[in-house]
Structure 1
Amino acid sequence: MTWDRFVLLYARVETELAKALQRGHGLGLSEYRALKRLAAAPDGELRMQELAEAVGLNQSSVTRLIARLEEAGLTRRDLCAADRRGVYSVITGEGRARLGEASPTYERSLETALDRAGTDPELQPLVAAVRGLGVAAGR
């Protein structure tokens, strides 16, 4: 079944990425993705709910994630000026620097994971499709 092969490919790639980011930069995969989304956002900030949706986490999980990033000095919280109930997560200069250091590791690890998965005949068509989308090239 194609879906099962997709899940297998996804799991293999995620495992490689998570190990490389943790080992090389002390970041979890969700932390990396949160920093990446924040860095790409206007003014480097997103509402907590927007960030949760962007990285595929629920509100409780993203709150814990942001607490870890804040503790490390990689993000800070800010209140919405127009609606004092709205809370934003904002990437810091240190967060941008860590993201810049980790991004090449992420890209290399993604390429390596896809190369390894591509040696499995059942996964080759999916790997080719992912590469055809430009995913591994960071597009």
Structure 2
Amino acid sequence: METDGARWDRVVTLHGGVEQRLAKALQRRHGIGLSEYRALCRLVHAPDGELRMQELAALIGLNQSSVSRLVTRLESAGLTRRDHCPADRRGVYTQVTDEGRAVQEKAAPTYEGELTAALDDAAAEPAFAPLVQMLRAR
């Protein structure tokens, strides 16, 4: 019987392979990293296109300093802008720009297509087929 550790190792291996494939495709075709894409997605779908920095960090799985560097890169590229919370001047928001929305919209088919292809490829591997089946179950 397979242990939880062995199952988890398969999940981590599948995750790593999919993440690498997505990151390469987004960088090659759109000049953005996977974290940048995910941040733009979260911002595009947030009310008013903005989130507090700590909310964004939690949503994309980064720590506070990593999300700060990420937002700095997005700002430098003109994809987001920072703003202070009017009720609490210590609170910092990041807001997606029109250019950021356009980049996210253009990159979305690449992300979805590569994700589907990566999972299709993984489904053909006996070690990953049950995981992919579980992910795709409705």
Whether TM exceeds 0.5 here: the answer is: yes
2:19 equivalent to 1:26? no
Per-residue deviation, residues 49-106 of structure 1 (Å, max 9, x unmatched) = 0000010000000000000000000000001011111100000000000000000000
SS at match of 2:54: helix
**Runs of 4+ that moved beyond 6 A:** none
2:14 equivalent to 1:2? no
Structure 1 CA distance for aligned equivalents of residues 132 and 91 of structure 2: 41
Q: 2:72 aligns with which of 63, 67, 75?
A: 67
Q: Structure 2 unaligned runs (5+)?
A: 1-5
1:102 aligned partner:
107
RMSD across aligned C-alpha pairs, in angstroms?
Answer: 0.7
Residues 76 and 91 in structure 1, CA contact (< 8 A), matched pair in contact too: yes
1:40 aligned partner:
45
Q: Which amino acid aligns with 1:74?
A: L
Q: Structure 1 unaligned runs (5+)?
A: 134-139
Deviation at 1:131, TM superposition (A): 1.4
Deviation at 1:118, TM superposition (A): 1.1
2:21 aligned partner:
16
Structure 1 CA distance for aligned equivalents of residues 66 and 13 of structure 2: 24
TM-score by length of 2: 0.94
Bigger Rg over Cα: 2
2:120 equivalent to 1:123? no
SS at match of 1:18: helix
Deviation at 1:130, TM superposition (A): 1.1
Structure 2 CA distance for aligned equivalents of residues 124 and 93 of structure 1: 40
Residues 12 and 117 in structure 1, CA contact (< 8 A), matched pair in contact too: no
Structure 1 CA distance for aligned equivalents of residues 112 and 66 of structure 2: 25
SS at match of 1:89: strand
